[in-house]
Structure 1
Amino acid sequence: MTILSARSRVEPFHAMDVLREANALAGAGHDVLSLAVGQPSHSAPRGVLEAAKAALDNEKLGYTDALGRMETRRAIAAHYADRYGIEVPAGRIAVTTGSSAGFSLAFLAVTDPGGRVAITAPGYPAYRNIIRALSLEPVEIATDPADDHMLTVASLEAAHRERRIDALLIASPANPTGAVTDRHHLAALMDFCRDEGIAFISDEIYHGLRYTGDDRTALSHSDDVIVINSFSKYYCMTGWRIGWMVLPEAMVRPVECLAQSLYISAPDLSQVVAPRAFECTDELERIKDGYRANRELLLERLPAMGISFAAPPDGAFYAWCDVGAHTNDSMDFARRMLSEIHVAAAPGLDFDPVNGSRYMRFSYAGSTDTIARALDRMADWLGN
């Protein structure tokens, strides 16, 4: 009889369970409209697809260095110069199998078993589950709508004084709230972490998807941070499994050694073609215009249904909403909405196990037609 480890007993990602049920309904011939998953409905940019066709014909694809092809790392370094005006040596960049590998590598590199990693609540559930699977302890620090769901130094300090924290992970823009941590909060958090010897990890996977200002990378304030990013969201390349890390110099070799054994290397085809995405800004901005239109639809129509915004949707492609006027069980609400009107959305329980029962996350990464039709169904269903 196989004995399962405690590390294997992580909570399910309920949004993926909803997606599975939605796919089953769609497979049975139902017209399912999904606001559940944070995946662009668009394919990778045309330049990437054309480069992939050429690479399949002409490249010998295989393993690469664990840190990635040097030409890919140089292209990412050039991106930081072009986008942020920051010089990042290519030698400090590691190409990863999506951002997920980056999180695992970062946690392993800066903590020992039993180490404590602070994350925000609400927050992306995979953070919590990866941390637990690595025999670490997630420290979920609640954020306040009054602070636009930005983590404050006071909250971090209180948790740290109660029991030492080894690493802090901040996402901006954030999943599920879409909230952006402004430059002053970000700098204050980084300074506190520096003074207390807490490793600072910045998840910047939703950079490029901000609607109220410009993105600011943590590298603008300090080199002594770990930045994790990906081609999945803004660049519409979820299935290509290609991301990157920017590392402090002292962490490059340890991360390389970990990656050699855990992942060998990121997919070679993706490494070859991903830099072309940096050249497709016009196409990607047109896609972003679609998200912006979808966002406006949600802002206009959800409040009329008695669904309020619990955070300002300033970035990413999510709305974090209070459905307390209709239910105190967001999982039941999600299941009924899917079964009765075939609209899928993510229950708040995923993102905040303590207070998520009255919240839902609505993704507006799909087409504007999908968003509009889903809102029509919801309005009829809720009697608005």
Structure 2
Amino acid sequence: MSGGVDSSVVAAMMKREGYDVVGVTLQLYDHGAAVSKAKACCAGVDIHDARLAADKIGIPHYVLDYESRFKEQVMDRFADSYIAGETPIPCVSCNQTVKFTDLLKTARDLGADALATGHYVRSAPAGNKRALYRPVDLDRDQSYFLFATTQDQLDFVRFPLGGLPKARVRELAREFGLAVADKPDSQDICFVPNGDYAEVIRKLRPNAAEPGAIVHMDGRVLGSHDGIIHYTVGQRRGLGVATGEPLYVVRLDADEKRVVVGPREALATRTILLRELNWIGDAPLDEGEGLPLFAKVRSTRPPAPATLRLLGGRAFVDLATSEAGVAPGQACVFFDSDDETARVLGGGWIHKTERTGTWAVDFPQAESPVSAA
């Protein structure tokens, strides 16, 4: 129970349906040490809201101190990923580690039969296991952020809001008499409530922002920067250089501390190398054979035709149509179709990209272990 309307309604729904419900809120970080208190979640006023909701519903409520786990598994990884020239998604890491590993273990230790969350995805039985699907309300689709859910976790977790539009969830909150019925949704990463990623990284890693050169992909040095943590692949504004042509960040070279820029067409990506592949589809993955599927390389894009290949222990995705600005550290998520009923087949973290054109980068020999249920 994060203190928002979604998880509060889930708790009330489960109570109404006759389940023995225990509400759990995670205190994930110390605002004073990392960020300001504005527009945050999972601490402060949100814990208070979760407690009030639990009281209204009539269920026990516990606050678990997961600060050290969250810092190690989410915040530190976030900072290190940016320093390495990546664009991380901490919400995926939080679901993957703190919520669906640590909290799930706690739920089992308490003797719970299931862990219910307020995510907007659907799950349903598929043979002797459960499968994950996009929700009814595609405007709230969170399947992209749950690609790393393992089959064991999926069999234990329930998503009661997957079949409801957000408007109906707020109606239910009013019917249940919950004070959070009209509480705004959180729009920011919880530990970066003011949107200043670089400031948070500097606090976590004081020596992270090292200066370097801004270099055109043709080799020209165009200027300097105060740290690659201020840039992301695909960025157009705020580069601080001018050549008379629109320039975009096409690559971040952490080893050389270089920001590589070029024209928009240089962002076109066709092949992606993944790491930490998680597969929750029915059919086993075979080495060397391409598997047609649909892939999302960012949360706001619809699934698009692609092919997944396993070669030499590494996982590659070939996109049928090039995508612009695909960044290492983001996720590539697999589906069995591109419609609203699509099943989630898993996904992986984007490790390297090969773009169209003569300057495509070579892939290093890197292990990409596959986890499959």
Which protein is richer in helix relative to its size? 1
Higher RCO structure (Cα 8 Å, ≥6 apart): 1
Give the structure-2-normalised TM-score: 0.29
Which protein is richer in strand relative to its size? 2
Give the structure-1-normalised TM-score: 0.29
